Amino acid sequence: MPEPRSGERRLPARRAVLASAAVGLSSALTAGLSGCSTASGKGGGVSLTFAWWGNDDRAARTEKAVRLFEKEHPGVTVRTSNAEFGAYKQKLATQAAGGGIPDVAQLDYRQVSQYAGGGALLSLGDIIEKQQIRTSEMDKSFLRTGSYEGEQYAVPMGRGITGYAYDAAIYKKAGIPTPQPSWTWQDWAEANRKIAALGLKSPDGRPLTGCNDGGGNEDVFEDWLRGRGGRLYASQTRLGFTEDDLTEFWTFCDRLRKDGSVAAARDSTQAKSTETSPMGRGLAAADFTWDAPFPGYPALLGDDVHYAPVPTTGGRQGAYFKPSMLLGVGAHTAHPKEAVALVDFLLNDPRAGDILSFTRSTPPNRKIAARVAATLEGAEREIYDYAQKLEKYGLDAPPTAPPKGDIPVQIAFGRAYQRVMFEQATPRQAARELIDEANRELRS
Amino acid sequence: MSTVTTGAPPRADDTTPPRPASGRRPRRERQWPAYVFLSPWMIGALVLTLIPMAVSLYLSFTDYNLFDPPHWVGLRNYTEMLTEDPRYWRSVGTTLLYVVIAVPLKLAFALGVAMLLRSLGRGRAFYRSAFYAPSLLGASMTIALVWRALFNDGGSVTHVLDAVGIHTGGWIGNPDLAVYAVVLLTVWQFGAPMVIFLAGLQQISPDLYEAAALDGAGRWRQFVSITVPMLSPVVFFNLVLEMIQSFQVFTPAFAISGGDGGPADSTLFYTLYLYERGFTASHMGYAAAMAWMLLIAVGVITLILFRTSRSWVFYADEEGR
């Protein structure tokens, strides 16, 4: 490219600057707004759409089960689509706004109220009564997690539970007994202090602490709250806890972090995955986690990592069986009969159960779960046994599906605690702010 | 332009050649082909810009969650934002801090590199392209993720700083430093203003410098008395563009914070909060209201810049004013 000789080009005039300013400004309005397109298809006979989210293993297993369904139902073709969770959520929301979600859709617990309340889901009450979707092998109170205002809109596909991944070798070294279902938050705090007192170092030379900081994790708070007989939500529009409850919880966490018993603030904020969490980096001996991702811990950190119950208050367990995901039928489906048949097949057919295995946590159908569990080993077997053990120990019934505003509240929870961690707010100030924000979310 | 002698400022109309009186009708008849050729653009502007803007304005007065039809709430989104939402003001503060630091830094850097390049003889084209490259890459998600890895705990930047005795820990996890990781990413993409500065610098007549040197002006004096005033329209152009862009910074903040504006809201830029309100919390009406507030605010700041520019920007075509 030849260099322009001096004086050949004119300096930009005022008018040109104005014009480009206007162009730049108008893009401010459209910035951040994007849509998702949906695939459309054709086919003779009945064509169903089925969408879900998940990893490659889940995708492969789900495809295989769907192909089996097609074979059993000649004339029915199922067009599947899947994505990772974040993209899936937005795609489904856009489809709902555009007038229709897929015939069969995998739903998150937190989506049930929003989609059912917005009229996007078919009511399944009659269908379940007529046994078109069989639920006799499912726990009744667990089934209720798919209801909204007393009406069933979705059926759980998998049963998850919270727990506590810990390094048994470090626990032994610190002289801490193996955590039992009745161990208390005081026992837990004491265990963390003992581990910190060992004076062990992480690979990069920083002190090893007892546990990841659970203060920003709404699930941990919910377990803590339920162990005291409380709950996160009193109704679709009201919180179930007070400023005092949350202040107490955050003060408890804050103190443990300040005395070095649990992981430091900057390590907690950088945790985006098991690998980058304090436990994954050798900075903590334990972490709160769901059962489905637990097998990733021993895979990363070795076979000394085991799965223990969440601490209790006076023996009352706060953990509960939560649907890891649910299945719903689109309200505007053209083929409700076939869509319902697909839902029933995925949940109750033993061959589908074998194919799908534990890819969505424990199958809610007890018979299928027991049948598949017999083939499991290692960490997967451990989480199945863990769930059985806690069920025997006795858990309080799960809450109904969380209200529409729950997703932003959950995010706000972690953020508000970050303000405590970095000493930008006291536990009480942060609790006040979180409750204000949550009330605004629930009101609208 | 020098032909205008009446003393009135030159206007666009004056530059059109005088048309013969009899030629008026045919000229008008021949206008339709212009509109035909313009129509793809006009349809695009209407469907993709003007109608969405109108819808966005309407939505900003509603409560809309994508599921239920929008429901009119008047000014509530605006009053809630201004009086009840502490995070809104936090996002405004973060964005202003970012604009005030990143824009001058980036422009200074771009001007510095442009002046170095001007003094370069051979290989200027190569270096110009090389320095421009980060601007082509910088807006992408990939680079933002690389940035995140660089500034994380145990990332290269922390290692280098540790080696020279500065122990910062990971910037990404530290609310006092995270925003500067984003600032550095922005400054690194100085290519576009640099190219414009370079073009501007090359238009300053060497005669001016020669004359100044003869009068005994040193390098600094030449910079202050010749380069700066002669370049002022280019500086202004870059300033306005960068300012508008910086108010809309999104991708780097989204990637570096992992999408949540953390830690402790320290990278919660305005657009990131807007996105969170709209697409995570499903408050499309609130998000639309935020977009309009941004438009108004950036518009007002641009207007102020234009007003003040009269006292410091020197336009070649305004000679004699």
- Number of Cβ within 10 Å of residue A249's Cβ equals 22
Residue A271 or B90, more confident: B90
* Helix, strand, coil in percent for chain A, rounding step 5: 45, 15, 40
Mind listing the pLDDT tens digit for each residue in A386-418? 999 999 998 988 887 788 788 888 888 988 999
Chain B interface includes A19 (CB < 8 A): no
Considering the domain boundaries, does residue B302 fall inside one?
yes
Chain A interface includes B87 (CB < 8 A): yes
Domain with B274 in it: what CATH number? 1.10.3720.10
Contact residues on chain A for B200, CB-CB shorter than 8 A = 11
A17 CA: distance to closest CA in chain B (Å): 6
Considering the domain boundaries, does residue B285 fall inside one?
yes
* CB atoms B205 and A25 under 8 Å: no
Whole-number mean pLDDT of chain A?
Answer: 85
The predicted structure's pLDDT at residue B58? 95
**The residue count for chain A:** 444
Considering the domain boundaries, does residue B134 fall inside one?
yes
Residue B182 Cα distances to A362, B109, B145, B153, B254, angstroms: 42, 16, 11, 16, 10
Q: What angle do CA B111, B114, B117 make, to 5 degrees?
A: 155
* CB atoms A32 and B271 under 8 Å: yes
Into how many domains does chain B fold?
Answer: 1
* Lowest mean per-residue pLDDT among A4-18, A314-328, B42-56, B304-318: A4-18
Considering the domain boundaries, does residue B209 fall inside one?
yes
Q: How confident is the model at residue A316 (pLDDT cuts 50, 70, 90)?
A: very high
Give the separation between CA B294 and CA B247, rounded to whole angstroms.
Answer: 8
Looking up tokens 């009229």, which residue turns up?
Answer: A119
The predicted structure's pLDDT at residue A36? 34
The predicted structure's pLDDT at residue B221? 87
pTM to 2 decimal places: 0.76
Considering the domain boundaries, does residue B132 fall inside one?
yes
B258: closest chain A residue by CA: A272
Q: How confident is the model at residue A22 (pLDDT cuts 50, 70, 90)?
A: low
Considering the domain boundaries, does residue B275 fall inside one?
yes
Residues 6+ apart with CB under 8 A from B167: B161
The predicted structure's pLDDT at residue A166? 94
Domains of chain A and any CATH numbers: 31-159+323-391 (3.40.190.10), 162-320+400-443 (3.40.190.10)
For the question of an ipTM over 0.85, the answer is no
* CB atoms B245 and A24 under 8 Å: yes
Looking up tokens 């009119």, which residue turns up?
Answer: B72
> Which positions 224-263 of B are in contact with A (Cβ < 8 Å)?
233-234, 236-237, 240-241, 244-245, 247-248, 250, 258, 260-263
Q: How confident is the model at residue B27 (pLDDT cuts 50, 70, 90)?
A: low
- Beta strands across the sheet bearing A162-167: A286-290, A162-167, A305-308
Contact residues on chain B for A10, CB-CB shorter than 8 A = 203, 316-317
Residue A40 Cα distances to A74, A96, A263, A331, angstroms: 21, 16, 49, 18
DSSP symbols for A7-57: TSSPPPPHHHHHHHHHHHHHHHHHTT-----------SSEEEEEEEE--HH
Q: What is the mean pLDDT of residues A38-54?
A: 69
The predicted structure's pLDDT at residue A10? 46
* Lowest mean per-residue pLDDT among A25-29, A162-166, A384-388: A25-29
Considering the domain boundaries, does residue B266 fall inside one?
yes
Contact residues on chain A for B321, CB-CB shorter than 8 A = none
* CB atoms B244 and A25 under 8 Å: yes
The predicted structure's pLDDT at residue A276? 81
The predicted structure's pLDDT at residue B310? 84
Q: How confident is the model at residue A32 (pLDDT cuts 50, 70, 90)?
A: very low
Residues 6+ apart with CB under 8 A from A2: none
A35 CA: distance to closest CA in chain B (Å): 11
The predicted structure's pLDDT at residue B255? 81
Per DSSP, A79 falls in state E
Give the separation between CA A139 and CA A125, rounded to whole angstroms.
Answer: 16
Contact residues on chain A for B124, CB-CB shorter than 8 A = 3
Considering the domain boundaries, does residue B115 fall inside one?
yes
Q: Which of B203, B245, B275 should we substitute to test contact with A (largest number of A Cβ atoms within 10 Å)?
A: B203
Q: How confident is the model at residue A349 (pLDDT cuts 50, 70, 90)?
A: very high
Which domain range does residue B271 map to?
86-311
Chain A interface includes B312 (CB < 8 A): no
Q: What is the mean pLDDT of residues B152-161?
A: 80
Give the separation between CA A102 and CA A95, rounded to whole angstroms.
Answer: 8
Give yes or no for residue B293 having a pLDDT over 90: yes
Which of B244, B262, B287 has its CB closest to that of A24?
B244
- Residue A186's region, left for phi above 0, alpha for psi from -120 to 50, else beta, is alpha
Mind listing the pLDDT tens digit for each residue in A275-312? 888 998 899 999 998 888 888 888 889 999 999 999 99
Whole-number mean pLDDT of chain B?
Answer: 83
The predicted structure's pLDDT at residue A86? 73
